[in-house]
Chains A and B, each alone.
Chain A
């Protein structure tokens, strides 16, 4: 048995990279776990495709109508897809006790929630961007509009993950957590939806989309600054 290696070890104190490394650890960990369970990931992507594909069946095949409705439909589907995959953010770790171990890490809890939100974005957000062009074609959107749609989703999906992490932390361990999470977080998604879908509308109608995208980016920055802290205190409250 080696001696107690890590008594209180002052040399560790000034390791300035440990928060970043810890953040990367949390992200890498969630990506690894998601890779081991590819089924969940696939269901979320297919959910997104199927929800979007239902609308033309409901609205009718005329290209002009679909072009007008397309951006809103894709964006609302992105909201729903992220809300579907958010309860899993903390639920499994909470159930098998590893969430407690993460809260007992010397690194601040904010990094846990930030890391998990970013991991959720990488796992569930980015694949959405790859599928969107196919769906854009389905709604006969011109190439430029599809480009703006993908960019708006690129800026928008982290917002969905960050705000969603607050909802996931608040509803941790509650019965009916998934529906409750949607009820809590959907109103907070409204600005992202308006700016995101509005950008594509702007591109389609030619009045320009840069204003929308910059406002969306501003909302992303605000969310990035607020959401992890709120989610961290929500986690501490839920774990109590």
Chain B
């Protein structure tokens, strides 16, 4: 397959939850080396937008395209190149952090370099609890397990829903460095957060969700 440039485009997207229409006519484009920061009050559809971008839910109207093709048709290519970390960590309580990583990599059909995984877990500050079942970890630690899964996966596009919740100061700093490195290396990020972010030298594309037609750049 000819390698078209990696690009996430959203065309006239509309989303509804139950009876309420959350947003309509959403258009934006995200290129390599950019971070889309989705802002908006609670319940305005931030999480719904992210789930639409992943293809977990189908939009009321409009389309999400990856490399120019709608994600519905190029599902396997798209899912091979993106990783999603949602509100819920996707960490199994009965497995240890390492087992969680290994299982997540197997599910995502990605090669897992054991040493790299262990090193990532240590770097995420989980060296003390490597062999404990995730059940005993705190929410913040479980969040770090999910984020280390993200790093190990090494996908091109990161879709993160409030990645900083539950993290202490060191955790937040760690995530910020991860984001900077990922974007600097030509990765792409779509994320929502309520906390202020110190991302120097990152091309941030702000996006407000919630008004009827979300105009990008309305920081």
Nearest-Cβ distance from residue A98 to partner chain B, whole angstroms: 5
In the bound complex, CA of A101 to CA of B106 (Å): 11
Nearest-Cβ distance from residue B105 to partner chain A, whole angstroms: 10
Nearest-Cβ distance from residue B116 to partner chain A, whole angstroms: 7
Q: In the assembled complex, which residues on chain A have CB atoms less than 8 Å from the CB atom of B31?
A: none
Contact of A104 among B58, B77, B84, B185 (CB under 8 A): B84
Looking at chain A's contact residues, the main secondary structure is helix
Nearest-Cβ distance from residue B187 to partner chain A, whole angstroms: 6
Q: In the assembled complex, which residues on chain B have CB atoms less than 8 Å from the CB atom of A175?
A: none
Q: Mark B1-30, 1 if CB is under 8 A from A, else 0.
A: 101001000000000000000000000000
| Residues from 162 to 183 in A contacting B, C-beta threshold 8 Å | none
* Tally of A-B Cβ pairs under 8 angstroms: 116
| Residues from 5 to 52 in A contacting B, C-beta threshold 8 Å | 5-10, 12-13, 18, 21-22, 25-26, 29, 32-33, 36-37
Given A100-B56, A104-B56, A239-B56: A6 touches B1 (CB 8 Å cut-off):
no
Q: In the assembled complex, which residues on chain A have CB atoms less than 8 Å from the CB atom of B92?
A: 33, 96, 98
Number of interface residues of A (CB under 8 A): 37
Asked if B181 and A33 make an inter-chain contact with CB atoms under 8 angstroms apart, the answer reads no
Q: Mark B74-88, 1 if CB is under 8 A from A, else 0.
A: 011101111110111
Asked if B80 and A6 make an inter-chain contact with CB atoms under 8 angstroms apart, the answer reads yes
Q: In the assembled complex, which residues on chain A have CB atoms less than 8 Å from the CB atom of B1?
A: 10, 13
The 4 A-B residue pairs whose C-beta atoms are closest, nearest first, are A97-B88, A97-B90, A36-B94, A106-B76
Interface residue ranges, A against B (CB under 8 Å): 1-10, 12-13, 18, 21-22, 25-26, 29, 32-33, 36-37, 95-98, 100-108, 239-240
